[in-house]
A and B are shown apart, each in its own frame.
Chain A
Amino acid sequence: MKSLILIMISGALINNVVLNQFLGICSFLGVSKQMKASASLGGAVIFVMTIASAVASLLYDFVLKPYGLDFMKTIVFILVIAALVQIVEMFLKKKSPAVYQSLGIYLPLITTNCAVLGIALTNVQNEYNFIESVLAGFGTAVGFTLAIILLAGIRSRIREEDLPRPVRGAPIVLISAALMSIAFMGFSGLAF
């Protein structure tokens, strides 16, 4: 039980997917302009990453490993995750238009988010079982959401400031993200 909690916290804070592993940077920087969009994207990432981790874990344990196809895991995961998100999107569109509306265009967008694939591969690398994989995926996605919402908040404040001309726009966002990253490195001292 303790190790399960540890996996989640480690995914969310200690090994934060964006700020410590530098995965999924494009959506992190691209969508964090607005708080609302960031929260929607975060919700969609939590949703997709949890499901993708679960499916990838099952696929690896019951198909790839028994046949000795370890080397094919990247391609298979891409294939399955992309199709999975498509199916989930269609399902939501029909059964729950409200959720579909709130996730909006972000659901198909994160099909190609490298963080989703990255977590599926990391889970396999760490030899997590099914439950551990799901929790790791969920924790990591929460970490992503946390990071993007924090950056969106910072950016909304930056907009009010009179910045020196050279750092306006993208540079100041990268500098902020770098400082956040340094701050999150502090979690690596978190001991259990």
Chain B
Amino acid sequence: MNTILITTIVITVIGIIVGAGLVFTGKKFYVPVDEREAAVRECLPGNNCGACGYAGCDAMAAAIVSGEAPVNGCPVGGAPVAAKIGGIMGTDAATVERKVAFVRCKGTCDACKQQGNYVGINDCRSAALAGISLKDCDYGCMGLGSCASVCPQGAIKMIDGVAVVNPNLCVGCGLCVKACPKGLIELVPESKHVRVQCMNRDKGPIVKKVCSAGCIGCTLCTRQCQFDAIHMDGNLAKVAYESCTQCGKCAEKCPAHIITPPCPVKPQAQPAEATEA
């Protein structure tokens, strides 16, 4: 009986001292934080995964409040979290368009020939380091899938020798953009479906020789556009996403069919499925 009493008393006293110590230091060393930072922190998932590129959810919240990171910067939370944070930060969530990764190459096995048989490390970056480009086109997708292996969502698949992003699974974290040694992947606004699917900067005849799905720099698309939204960057067409109205005239006229048409298959039907997954 005596032991139980002493134990209870000693532990209670230790508990009280520790509790008082915590309260005291909490008051004494209180660091005022931006109210919004705490609110943003509440919205974030809180598992400190670091997929956003910051050292955890606290660091991410601080970065969002200071304007360093976008409100939709959390790849785990996705659109619902971005909307909540947008509300706190006073940015309308709708104005912050979701961005998805897009691979600017259409050089599939049929379109662009393989340059012999590569037996090295199965990674684009290693092959690029050795100066090997695998296909005839020096600019195109190498097809070894470095982007697919870094994708945390499994949104990239290698289809017919070219990486293809599933926009419904993509969270726009940008890891693939960094992984691609050819710089082929860019983050584009989700609703802008008219995109140039080629990165070859060579002149038309050279492009034609290496790939049947390459931009030959014919400038037909720029002449079609009434909104001044597609320009030539050297020998390569480039869409200015801000001014593009998705009319799709350029895509119709492109002789190489490398401009993606506006609004591909069922844009509305699938996102629900993606959130479930």
Q: Which A residues are within 8 Å of any B CB, using their own CB?
A: 59, 63-64, 67-69, 72, 75-76, 79-80, 83, 86-87, 90-91, 93-95, 104-105, 160, 162
CA distance in complex: A67, B122 (Å): 65
Interface of chain B residues 232 through 267 with chain A (CB within 8 A): none
Question: Is B6 a contact partner of A68 (Cβ separation < 8 A)?
Answer: yes
Whether B14 contacts A63 by the Cβ 8 Å rule is yes
The smallest beta-carbon distance between B42 and chain A, in angstroms, is 17
User: Taking chain A's interface residues, is the majority helix, strand, or loop, or is none over half, making it mixed?
Assistant: helix
Which candidate, B52-60, B171-179, B193-201, B204-212, is the interface stretch facing chain A? B52-60
Q: Is the CB of A83 within 8 A of B21?
A: yes
The answer to whether A104 touches B59, judged by C-beta atoms less than 8 angstroms apart, is yes
Tell me if A75 and B11 are in contact (CB < 8 A). yes
Q: Say yes or no: A162 contacts B15, CB within 8 Å.
A: no
Q: Does B95 contact A (CB under 8 A)?
A: no
Q: Could you tell me if A94 and B21 are in contact, using CB atoms closer than 8 angstroms?
A: no
B31 sits at the interface (CB 8 A): yes
Q: Which residues of A contact B21 (CB under 8 A)?
A: 83, 87
**A63 touching B29 by the CB < 8 A rule?**
no
With contact pairs A93-B31, A94-B31, A105-B56 given, residues A76 and B25 touching in the complex (Cβ less than 8 Å): no
Interface residues on B, range: 20 to 34
Instruction: Please name the residue on chain A nearest to B59 by beta carbon.
Output: A104
**What does the 1/0 interface line of B8-52 toward A look like (CB < 8 Å)?**
001100110011011001100111000000000000000010000
A94 touches B29 (CB 8 A): yes
B268: chain A residues within 8 A (beta carbon): none
Given contacts A76-B11, A80-B14, A83-B18, contact A104 B25 (CB under 8 A): no
Whether, in the assembled complex, B7 has its beta carbon less than 8 Å from a beta carbon of chain A, the answer is yes
Distance in Å: Cβ of B74 to nearest Cβ of chain A = 16
Chain B neighbourhood of A91, CB < 8 A? 25, 29
B117 within 8 A of A: no
A68 touches B121 (CB 8 A): no
- Say which residue of A64, A69, A72, A90 sits within 8 Å of B29 (CB atoms): A90
